[in-house]
Amino acid sequence: MPEKSSFATDLPALRISTIVRPKTLNNLSDFDNMRSNANLGVKELRLPSANRAGPQSGRGGLMENWFEMYRTIVMPAHCDHYGHMNVRHYAAFFDDAGWQMLARAGVSLTDLRGRGLGSVVATLTIDFHHEIKAGQLALIMGAFTRVGKKSFAYDLKLYEVDSMTHCATQKTVEVCFDLAKRASVPLPDDIRDKLAGCSTDESHAGL
């Protein structure tokens, strides 16, 4: 039963994911801790419980503004004739993760729509670093990298969970969008402040 054997190798990671919930694994410091403990075969991780949304002091510095955005598993249907996940599904996984970015900064999509606003993608690029295959678990981490007058940028990084291999990176720029005028508009000051407050851009670190 090769297929069951393949999925059985993911069971330790599945146990970890039941303990390390999205609201507790929030930054790359936690992420490195998880990788170290996973390599030692530890099944339970002691991670900070704070749901960070802003510049953090201490060991991680601005790197602590990387948040867990999305978890999934690569299914056989995601893979092509080369035996690894096809590029179209990287885009879909990143898109699912991208919808969570504003919420991570404390910006409610309901509130945004209530103001007659939305955010739309202006540009994105995906770089592929390493293949990922059926039966492997995927984790996407995200961070805001720049906040402008009308737009904001963020990076998303996809990892294979068991080895923490960095498989792909998406760089995205989104624009604040007036739903009635169908045109770009400046970010409201309070929203811009929230985004700047958790950006990895050092020029925003004091905001």
Note down the domain range covering 69.
63-204
Task: Tell me the whole-structure pTM to 2 decimals.
Answer: 0.70
Q: Domain total for the chain?
A: 1
* Confidence class for position 195, pLDDT limits 50, 70, 90: very high
Per-residue pLDDT at 201:
82
* DSSP-derived secondary structure for 160-189: ETTTTEEEEEEEEEEEEEETTTTEE-PPPH
Residue 175 lies inside a defined structural domain of this protein? yes
Domain at 90, CATH number: 3.10.129.10
Residue 49 lies inside a defined structural domain of this protein? no
Residue 180 lies inside a defined structural domain of this protein? yes
Residue 24 lies inside a defined structural domain of this protein? no
Residue 200 lies inside a defined structural domain of this protein? yes
Residue 52 lies inside a defined structural domain of this protein? no
Q: Which residues pair with 184 in a beta bridge?
A: 177
Instruction: Report CA torsion sign: 76, 79, 84, 87.
Output: negative
Count CB neighbours of 95 within 10 A.
Answer: 15
Alpha carbons 192 and 198: distance in angstroms, whole number: 10
Residue 37 lies inside a defined structural domain of this protein? no
Judge whether 150 and 119 are in contact, CB under 8 Å: no
Residue 15 lies inside a defined structural domain of this protein? no
Per-residue pLDDT at 175:
99
Alpha carbons 193 and 207: distance in angstroms, whole number: 7
